[in-house]
Amino acid sequence: MCPDLRGYGGSGKPPGGPDHAGYAKRAMAADVVALLAALGHRRAAVVGHDRGGYVAMRAALDHPDRAADDADLAAGRRIGCPTLFCWSERDDMVELYGDPAAIWRRWAPDLRTASIDSGHHMAEEAPGELAAVLADFLGDDRLSRPW
């Protein structure tokens, strides 16, 4: 499945509220989890691009009773499942953040990384390379074990 996130593409545009919580990555992650449940899926591999990557992270953390990313990080919460982080070599990720994988390692102890020879839209610019990286990651036997 490949859902539009709320407010993007042809999706609905619910009110954001005074604090914009309706468009927080946590709200979008809840939408994805609800959609998976409605389709009868208890578990899923979640892949996201750009803002969708943050939505995937929130879905993996799934702590609805807490504030947001800083509080979860300070409380020691981490993503418990194997995580893949890909970035585009011809985008500005390294210029902006230095080692982009270092940011994700704080969140995901079981992290794999891959840089893709593309601009920002890697799925459109390097579909074969991205598909190969995803297939390798999703075919890993570690993903089938309960976390």
pLDDT tens digits, 10-32: 877 888 888 888 888 888 888 88
pLDDT for 118: 95
Which whole number is the average pLDDT over 21-50?
81
pLDDT for 65: 37
**Based on the number of CB atoms within 10 Å of its own CB, is 57 exposed (0-12), middle (13-18) or buried (19 or more)?**
buried
pLDDT for 114: 92
pLDDT at 34 over 90: no
Place of tokens 């570690």: 142
Any bridge partners for residue 76, and if so which?
Answer: none
Alpha helices in the chain (DSSP H): 25-38, 51-61, 69-74, 93-97, 100-107, 122-125, 127-138
The Cβ of residue 147 has, within 10 Å, a number of other Cβ atoms equal to 11
Q: pLDDT per residue over 74-96, tens digit each?
A: 778 788 878 888 889 998 888 88
pLDDT at 147 over 50: no
pTM: 0.58
**4 versus 116: which is more confidently predicted?**
116
